[in-house]
Each structure stands twice: as structure tokens, then as C-alpha cells.
Amino acid sequence: MPERGALTLIFVAALVATVPLFAGDFWVSLTIKILVLGLLALSVDLLLGHAGLLSLCHAAFFAMSAYTVAILQVRYGVPMLIAVPAGLAMGTLLALVFGVSVRTRGVYFILVTIALGFIVWGVTYRWASFTGGDNGITNVPYPAIGDFQITSMTAYFYVVLLVVLGCVLAYRTLVRSPFGLVLRGLKSSESRMRSLGYSPLRHLYVAFVLSGFMASLAGVLYIYFNRFVNPATAHFHISVEAVLMAILGGTGTILGPFLGSVVIMVLRNWVSGFFPYYMTLMGLVFIVTVLFAPNGIIGLVNSWRARRARRAKTTDAVGTEPEAQPRPQP
């Protein structure tokens, strides 16, 4: 029987699955966007929350796979069954190359990833004859296998939800595996892990590539949702936003990046419709997070639960330990 954590995730997914029952197309499409960018944030968080590496180049993998799919489908009429694996492969290939950046640490790692990310952005922006430059690539066809085509937003929503749920469950297994523990060990003390006989480079490289693969998957989901891609997708802003989502929701957790995605996407796409100073509000949210919830939304909930559990312990002897203690900030 799967344990409580996995059940919680499935329950949350089931709740999300009810969105199309009571909300219009806009909310369905916004939920897709939240899920896709949440997945991107989760991929960033594999490095940030578990391995302690702050990567600012994940928009590159995201855009690489999106562009690959778009160019193959629009320019060369390649069917989706080939375009999607090709997109994932190109994004992951890029991660294999960019993975060399794990040889650096701390601020140098951040700088190297920023630079690498800008290379991809520059290519999408300047190689106009191939990538469409500023105008990007429009009119990506609906996802289709043979004659079976998904044209409705709601149908695609369920596809995205299933893929994201599968990915999240796999991610959960990964971070709880010995491999995940090694990553967390590296985050706490790299020298100690090395003295225990682990190879930090190899583990971090694999984590980087896996994280790049997840970002590529998010890119594929994104391109069939937007059916349009342009250099803004590869921009530094997207990488930063993914990191902010992870921090806002709570790093080192699974629901956290998605919660962060909810907050940012709703502010930007819904609140902006009736509140012109939504950017100020977003700034306030970040400040409040840093001051009062350094471990993000999930961290806040966890510490609140821990307090309750402690109180329960003093009155009731049967009380259990809280599931997770708030982790120290990277």
C-alpha cells in the first residue's frame, strides 16, 4: 500500500482534476500553465532543494524542447510521436552539455548557468532564419496521434495533469531513494560525503541531467498548450521565476513549487485584470515570504503542524512525531 505522502499527492491531483467541472476555459488553461510551470519549478528544485545548487539556466532546457517540437512540427511536418521524443532528447542533450557546470559551486555555479542560459536565448533571438527570431514560431498543431487529435482545452488539461502526476510520483521515489539521500548529504557537507567514498561530481551531474530532462518535459507540455514559442520562453526571467516559485512554495518539497506557481500565475494573469499594482503585490509577497516564511508556504504549514503536534504531545501521550521538520534554508 502506498504511504500517506503519495496518497496526499494523488488526492490533491484528484482535487485539481475537478477544476473543469466548475470553472470556465480560462481557469482550465491557467491551471495547465500553473502545472507546467510548477513542473519546471520542481525540476529546478531538484538541484536547489536537494542538492543545494541554484541553477538559473532551466529556461534553456524548457525552450530547447519547446523549440525542437515547434520547428519539427511546423517546418517539417514531423508527427507528434517523433517530435516529442526528439524535443525531450534535445533538451536532455543540452543538459548533458551544460552539466559540466556542476564542477563549480556557489556563486560561480549561478554565474555559469546564467551565462549558459543566455547562450540559448541569444540563439533563439538572433538566428532568425531558423527560429523565427522575435516573432517566434506560431501555429503549432494540436497534439495528435494519427487521426486522434486533442483540440479541447479540457482534454489537454487531463493529459497534462496525468503526465505531471506521473512525473511527481517518480520524482518522489527519486528523492527518497539512496540517490536522493546522497544529494541531500552533499548539500549538508560535501567534504564529509567525499570522505565516505561518494563521488560528488558524478551524483550532481546525474541530478543536473535528470533535472534538465524534467524541464524539457515541461517544455513539451508547454508548447502544445501555447502552440506558440518565442525567445521570451528562453529568457532569464523564466529561469528566475522558476526559482522564485520553488522558494515561495518551499524548497525541498514536492507541492511547494506548484504552490509557488499558483501564487505567481494567479497574481500575474488574474489579479492583473483588476488590480494594476499587481507587481507591487508580488514584491510584497516575496518580502513577506523571506521575513516570515523562509521555508516557503509548505515550511509555514509544517512548522504550524509541528507546534500543534507538540501541544498534542503534552496533553495526549499517544501523539506522533510530525512527518517533516522544516529544513534549513539552502
Q: What is the binding site for another protein (CB under 8 A)?
A: 4, 7-8, 11-12, 15, 18, 22-27, 29-30, 33, 125, 128-129, 133-136, 138-139, 226-228, 230-233, 237, 268-270, 272-273, 276, 278-279, 301, 305, 309, 312, 316, 318-320
In whole angstroms, how close is the CB of 246 to another protein at the nearest point?
Answer: 19
Nearest-angstrom CA–CA distance, 129 and 310:
63
Closer residue to another protein (CB): 51 or 60: 60
Closer residue to another protein (CB): 12 or 206: 12
In whole angstroms, how close is the CB of 16 to another protein at the nearest point?
Answer: 9
Output the CA torsion 127→214→242→79 (10° steps). Answer: 40
In whole angstroms, how close is the CB of 232 to another protein at the nearest point?
Answer: 5
The one-letter amino acid code at 327 reads R
Q: Which helix (H) or strand (E) holds 138?
A: strand 137-138
The one-letter amino acid code at 20 reads P
Closer residue to another protein (CB): 1 or 15: 15
Nearest-angstrom CA–CA distance, 111 and 171:
27
In whole angstroms, how close is the CB of 134 to another protein at the nearest point?
Answer: 4
Closer residue to another protein (CB): 108 or 130: 130
Find out whether 108 and 215 touch, Cβ atoms under 8 Å: no
Closer residue to another protein (CB): 93 or 312: 312
In whole angstroms, how close is the CB of 219 to another protein at the nearest point?
Answer: 13
Nearest-angstrom CA–CA distance, 36 and 308:
34
In whole angstroms, how close is the CB of 249 to another protein at the nearest point?
Answer: 14
Closer residue to another protein (CB): 16 or 201: 16
Alpha helices in the chain (DSSP H): 4-17, 19-22, 25-45, 58-76, 80-98, 106-126, 128-131, 153-176, 178-188, 190-195, 200-226, 236-249, 255-269, 278-292, 296-315
Find out whether 52 and 252 touch, Cβ atoms under 8 Å: no
